[in-house]
Amino acid sequence: MSMYDRSSPTGLEAVDEWDGGVGWLPHPEEDGRRACHALRGSNGGVWLFDPIDAPGVDELVCDLGTVVGVAVCSNWHARDAGVFARRHDVPVYVPRWMDRIEERIDARVRRYDGELGDSGFRISRLDPLPGWREAVAYRESDGTLYVPDVVSSAKGTPVGEERVGLFLTARLFPPRETFTEFDPERILFGHGTGCFEDASAALDRALDGSRRRFPRALLRNGPEQLRALVGAVRD
């Protein structure tokens, strides 16, 4: 099975459904488990996070409301942001400090700092590796946390009893200063299905034990995560 399936999706798998949003996997069988989300903003409009187009997406999203923006939250997640922005005649929102995106999409780009439009989400910057920048988005009003890459539930990231885990390169120096202020009710990921049960405890466990479990993670997940990095660079 490929890490990232670059062919056109033939369908999708709906995931992470609750009153305020829904997610989908455009290629459910791929090892990388790329996930996309449509989230209702604080003022009622719908925001698309790191979306990939697939048959059935429009029907999945339309029940939430009108799309008002597309958010790119990793400099490796240009994905189909431009396709959705043109379809809905909305801008692609990119943090002011994020690179690599504008040259990879054909759509209006709106740069911002701090708050993501009127979505209610506030972003925090993470630089897990040189050349890798991501925006962690958190909305305190309903406890929704979105993490594009560095934390994931996808195969090859958690180890042992972890329900979510850190990417291998972040385990030795876990970004506690970024996540310590969050108390999530749910965690959504750019890879894998979300965590909806005791989400805050799952995140704390991932951060607190990341360094101790590094040797085990290296042996178990090292080859898988190397494949993920190589697959992303080839995008």
Backbone angles phi, psi at 119, to 5 degrees: -75, -20
- Which SS3 state, helix, strand or coil, does residue 71 take? strand
pLDDT at 235 over 70: no
pLDDT band for 77, please (50, 70, 90 cuts): very high
- pLDDT tens digits for range 44-56: 999 999 999 999 9
Q: Please give the pLDDT value at position 1.
A: 62
Q: Please give the pLDDT value at position 43.
A: 87
Rounded distance between C-alpha atoms, residue 150 and residue 98, angstroms: 16
Q: Please give the pLDDT value at position 164.
A: 97
Rounded distance between C-alpha atoms, residue 4 and residue 79, angstroms: 12
pLDDT at 201 over 90: yes
pLDDT band for 231, please (50, 70, 90 cuts): confident
- Residue labelled with tokens 């890490």: 3
pLDDT band for 14, please (50, 70, 90 cuts): very high
Q: What is the mean pLDDT of residues 161-168?
A: 95
Q: Please give the pLDDT value at position 102.
A: 94
Can you give the residue ranges of every domain in the chain? 13-233
Does the 13-233 domain belong in CATH 3.60.15.10? yes
Check residues 225 and 90 and name the one with the higher pLDDT.
90
pLDDT at 160 over 60: yes
All residues at 6 or more sequence positions from 85 whose CB lies less than 8 Å from its CB, including other chains: 70, 91, 92, 105, 107, 108
Beta strand ranges found along 74-157 (DSSP E): 92-95, 109-112, 122-129, 132-139, 144-147, 151-152
- pLDDT tens digits for range 97-131: 999 999 999 999 999 999 999 999 999 999 998 99
User: What are the helix and strand counts (H, E) for the chain?
Assistant: 6, 13
pLDDT at 234 over 60: no
Which runs of consecutive H residues, i.e. helices, occur in the chain?
57-62, 81-88, 168-171, 176-179, 199-208, 214-233
